[in-house]
């Protein structure tokens, strides 16, 4: 008898908790009709969305920066940093590489990185005074990596021709 009473009470508590969960609706805020129409339009307008335009991953990869573009961007950045004309900056080595992780061969102390191989570029430039390393990931956009942090890639494709 006592066991039946306990079961009955537990069923009532469980049913009450379940009903309470169903009664809770997310809070909503009223927005003027004009704003609602604009936000709905923005949400449904996927004209810039690769998937909406039927692009697949292969086509999206074609949008990434190539080696020649990466070299040009790195030379431009070094020219701004050093004050040397971009045409006077030499390319020591530029190649497609595989970085061992998301640090792209330029880890910052105290940071954590994805532990997966990342395709990218390794570019070494000379401004007449020193060598400067530029690293890039999947997007191909190079960034300056100070010599004290620059690490070699795990492997690389054949060195690419520079012109």
Interval 136-160: pLDDT, tens: 999 999 999 999 999 988 765 444 4
Looking at residue 31, its pLDDT comes to 46
Q: Which of 19, 33, 160 is nearest to 97 (CA)?
A: 160
What is residue 19's predicted lDDT score, i.e. its pLDDT? 59
| Strand 90-99 versus strand 118-126 pairing type | antiparallel
Kindly state the average pLDDT of the residues 95-118: 95
Task: Describe the strand order of the beta sheet including 118-126 as a list of residue ranges.
Answer: 143-145, 131-136, 118-126, 90-99, 155-156
Give the separation between CA 118 and CA 138, rounded to whole angstroms.
7
Residues 99-114 have a mean pLDDT of 95
Quick check: 132 pLDDT over 80?
A: yes
Give this prediction's pTM: 0.59
Lowest average pLDDT, out of 10-19, 20-29, 47-56, 73-82, goes to 47-56
> DSSP labels for 134-145?
EEE-TT---EEE
Residue 156 in contact with residue 97, Cβ under 8 Å? yes
Confidence check: pLDDT of 44 > 70: no
At residue 155, the pLDDT reads 67
Half-sphere CA count of 95, side-chain side, radius 13 A: 13
Average pLDDT over residues 32-46: 41
Mean pLDDT for the stretch of residues 97-120: 95
pLDDT of 22 over the 90 cut: no
pLDDT at 53 over 60: no
């Amino acid at each position: 008898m006592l066991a039946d009473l306990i079961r009955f009470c537990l069923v009532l508590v469980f049913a009450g908790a379940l009903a309470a969960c169903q009664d809770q609706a997310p809070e909503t805020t009223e927005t003027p009709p004009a704003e609602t129409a604009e936000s709905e339009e923005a949400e449904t307008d996927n004209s810039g969305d690769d998937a909406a335009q039927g692009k697949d991953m292969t086509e999206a990869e074609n949008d990434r920066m190539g080696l020649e573009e990466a070299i040009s961007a790195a030379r431009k950045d070094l020219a701004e940093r050093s004050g040397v004309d971009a045409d006077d900056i030499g390319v020591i080595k530029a190649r497609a590489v595989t970085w061992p992780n998301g640090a792209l061969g330029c880890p910052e102390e105290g940071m954590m990185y994805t532990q997966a191989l990342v395709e990218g570029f390794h570019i070494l430039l000379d401004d007449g005074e020193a060598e400067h390393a530029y690293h890039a990931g999947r997007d191909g956009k190079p960034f300056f990596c100070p010599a004290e942090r620059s690490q070699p890639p795990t492997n690389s494709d054949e060195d690419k021709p520079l012109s």
